[in-house]
Amino acid sequence: MKPSPLRGTAVTARVGLALGVAVAVCFLTGLISHFIQHPQPWFFWPTRPVWLYRVTQGLHVISGIAAIPLLVVKLWSVWPKLFERPILGGPVRALERLSILVLVAAMLFQLSTGLLNTAQWYAFEFFFTTSHYAMAWVAAGAVVVHIGVKLPVIRRALGEPLDDATAGGSGGPSRRTVLVGTGLAVALATAVTAGQTIPWLRRVSVLAPRSGQGPQGVPVNRSAVAAGVLRSARSPKYRLTVTHGSTTRAFTIADLAAMPQATHQLPISCVEGWSANAEWTGVVLADLVAAVGAPPDSDVRMISLEPPGPYSRTVLPARHARDSQTLIALRLNGEVLDLDHGYPCRLIAPTRPGVLQTKWLSRIEVV
Amino acid sequence: MRVVLIILGTAIGGYGAVLLWDNSFEVIVRIAVWAVAGAVLHDFVFAPLCVAMGFTGRRLIRGRWWTPVTVAGLCTVVLGLLAIPVFAKPGLRPDNMTVLNRDYPLGLLLSLTVVWACVPLYYLVARLLPVRQDEVVERQGAEDVGGQPPAV
């Protein structure tokens, strides 16, 4: 059995180029999401357009899923090289093989853990976010090394015509067919999953982890049951406490509802790649900050009724805290906030990952 | 240029390795096993299976059917991979019915039906459209002359 004439650098380089673009988009959008969640002094993240994070994180998952068929075809096109002799040879060849193993293993790690995370299936026994982030650097580095090693081959292959070899005579597929077929597979993979963030694809996204349905027309990531807030959120003793230094004010739900209300269309965009636009009504956060006499350019800490955990308290940077569209929402799509959406009140700010839009707020501290 | 890329890539990858090093030894082993298992599964299970399927298929399916069948085959593999984390809903939790809330077996069946329905459609269109002489000649190779078994 000899290798198919369809395999070869002409196909590998072209599919590799597309894969490189997908990986670059995935890596950069992933870094954006990481630095929003782990802010650095040099990192700037704007509040407009309000759908910015929806787009970057949607792209992160879409480009990652698009990379799956591209990687399948790319590996298919080079697979016979695995058995080329000498298997190891000298130190240079051994090193090259090792770099390929790192590249393939890191890429498969990223795509498999990322895909499993979108479906909340934690089959692996390590923490997803930190290992996915660390391995992203390994994969990115391995891609750059690989491009460096193969640069002359890539240049030659892309400069030459496709040289249309055909498998099994004139009736079989050509190299062009391989490229067109790969493009179709990428389009199909996108169509069957991207509806979780692109509404008009919802009906055809038959393999998307979310249909887009949920209480009040919005999906939920963490339920009130999982957060353990069923009793505290419905308690008649509930108060939202807002503090700034020694100034403390406590608001009942009626107090909040009596304040000036604002309504905005804002997306809720999850790190897992789903998003939905919704109409939120509530108190502008800046009004609450002003109510305790705090300056508008302060960071604000949001603390949930949820017992202490990784996302039960978050810090909202000053730029977002003073934004006129940042709300402490009491209503969603015209109804009182569902318990699973954060009743009695929750944070909703533009361009922020859903995981940082703290639900079941109990305390707001101006830092 | 090449040297710069290789050094830069090693530095970037090295930073990732340093980040991974923050984990306990046990967790590092789990991460490494997951990563290498992926490569091994691909190289010694997935890829040989695909080759075997292609090799067998090529002998059963002749002529113009083969091109659309290979593309449909690729699409089937991709749909199969994407269905793994949702098909049996392993991540489902009873407190949140907004995740994994589709009928995935039906979705997979429907999408596969659409993909494979395109095969006869393509065959018909390809038959109805005239094939250009140049294309046939251009794509003929030594194999078209001899009676060798076709390659996969």
Q: What is the DSSP string of A159-224?
A: HS-----BTTSTTS-BHHHHHHHHHHHHHHHHHTTGGGTSGGGTTT-TT-S--S--GGG---SS-H
The CATH number that applies at residue A239 is: 3.90.420.10
Looking at the partner chain, which of B82, B141, B150 has a beta carbon nearest the beta carbon of A165?
B141
Is residue B5 over pLDDT 80? yes
- In this structure, are A116 and A236 located in the same domain? no
In angstroms, what separates the C-alpha of A244 from chain B's closest C-alpha?
Answer: 36
Residue A149 belongs to a domain: yes
User: Within chain A, which residues score under 50 in pLDDT?
Assistant: 1
- In this structure, are A121 and A264 located in the same domain? no
- In this structure, are A197 and A223 located in the same domain? no
Tokens of A216: 């009040």
Tokens of B93: 């939790």
Is residue B105 over pLDDT 70? yes
| pTM of this prediction exceeds 0.90 | yes
Candidates A121, A147, A149, partner chain B, best to mutate (most B CBs within 10 A): A121
Contact list, B35 vs chain A (CB under 8 Å): 105-106, 108-109, 135
CB proximity A153 to B under 8 Å = no
- In this structure, are A193 and A239 located in the same domain? no
Looking at the partner chain, which of A112, A165, A226 has a beta carbon nearest the beta carbon of B96?
A226
Looking at the partner chain, which of B4, B17, B67 has a beta carbon nearest the beta carbon of A172?
B67
β-strands A361-366, A240-244 pairing: parallel
Q: What is the Cα–Cα distance from A357 to A269, expressed in whole angstroms? A: 10
- In this structure, are A102 and A243 located in the same domain? no
Q: What is the Cα–Cα distance from A350 to A48, expressed in whole angstroms? A: 7
Residue A186 belongs to a domain: yes
Q: What is the Cα–Cα distance from A315 to A310, expressed in whole angstroms? A: 12
Is residue B32 over pLDDT 60? yes
Domain, as residue range, for B80: 61-131
Q: What is the number of structural domains in chain B?
A: 1
Last residue of a domain, one of A150, A168, A201: A201
Give residue A301's region: left, alpha or beta (phi > 0; psi -120 to 50): beta
Q: What is the Cα–Cα distance from A146 to A152, expressed in whole angstroms? A: 11
pLDDT at A247: 93
Q: What is the Cα–Cα distance from A80 to A60, expressed in whole angstroms? A: 31
- In this structure, are A165 and A242 located in the same domain? no
β-strands A300-304, A361-366 pairing: antiparallel
Candidates A206, A275, A332, A338, partner chain B, best to mutate (most B CBs within 10 A): A206
- In this structure, are A193 and A227 located in the same domain? no
In angstroms, what separates the C-alpha of A238 from chain B's closest C-alpha?
Answer: 23
Looking at the partner chain, which of B14, B79, B98 has a beta carbon nearest the beta carbon of A213?
B98
Confidence category of residue B146, pLDDT binned at 50, 70, 90 = very low
Q: What is the Cα–Cα distance from A326 to A347, expressed in whole angstroms? A: 7
Contact list, B3 vs chain A (CB under 8 Å): 148
The CATH number that applies at residue A80 is: 1.20.950
**From the CB of residue A91, how many other CB atoms can be counted at a distance below 10 Å?**
8
Looking at the partner chain, which of B6, B84, B150 has a beta carbon nearest the beta carbon of A169?
B150
pLDDT at A89: 82
- Residue A320 has φ and ψ, to the nearest 5°, of -80, -35
Tokens of A365: 């501290």
Q: Please judge whether B75 and A185 are an interchain contact, meaning their C-beta atoms are less than 8 angstroms apart.
A: yes
- In this structure, are A190 and A235 located in the same domain? no
Residue in B with minimal Cα distance to A107? B35
Q: Please judge whether B66 and A79 are an interchain contact, meaning their C-beta atoms are less than 8 angstroms apart.
A: no
Average pLDDT for B94-122:
94
- In this structure, are A99 and A28 located in the same domain? yes
Is residue B67 over pLDDT 80? yes
Residue A4 belongs to a domain: no
Looking at the partner chain, which of A79, A118, A164 has a beta carbon nearest the beta carbon of B139?
A164
- In this structure, are A224 and A196 located in the same domain? no
Q: What is the Cα–Cα distance from B108 to B79, expressed in whole angstroms? A: 7
- In this structure, are A157 and A28 located in the same domain? yes
CB proximity A216 to B under 8 Å = no
Domain, as residue range, for A331: 217-366
Non-local CB neighbours of A295 within 8 Å, separated by 6+ positions: none
Residue in A with minimal Cα distance to B144? A169
Residue B143 belongs to a domain: no
Residue B11 belongs to a domain: no
Residue A256 belongs to a domain: yes
Is residue B141 over pLDDT 70? no
Question: Which of A161-165, A307-311, B82-86, B94-98 has the weakest average pLDDT?
Answer: A161-165
Contact list, B67 vs chain A (CB under 8 Å): 171-173, 177
Tokens of B21: 């090093």
pLDDT at A165: 65
Residues 245-274 of A with CB under 8 A from B: none
CB proximity A223 to B under 8 Å = yes
Q: Please judge whether A145 and B39 are an interchain contact, meaning their C-beta atoms are less than 8 angstroms apart.
A: no
Contact list, A62 vs chain B (CB under 8 Å): none
Q: Please judge whether B42 and A104 are an interchain contact, meaning their C-beta atoms are less than 8 angstroms apart.
A: yes
Q: What is the number of structural domains in chain A?
A: 2
Residue A207 belongs to a domain: no
Residue A320 belongs to a domain: yes
Contact yes or no for B135/A172 (Cβ under 8 A): no
Q: Please judge whether A137 and B15 are an interchain contact, meaning their C-beta atoms are less than 8 angstroms apart.
A: yes
Q: What percent of chain B has pLDDT over 70?
A: 86
Query: Which letter, b or e, does each residue of A105-114 get, where b requires 16 or more Cβ atoms within 10 Å of its Cβ?
Result: bbbbbbbbbb
- In this structure, are A63 and A192 located in the same domain? yes
Residue A273 belongs to a domain: yes
Looking at the partner chain, which of B82, B106, B143 has a beta carbon nearest the beta carbon of A189?
B82
Residue A176 belongs to a domain: yes
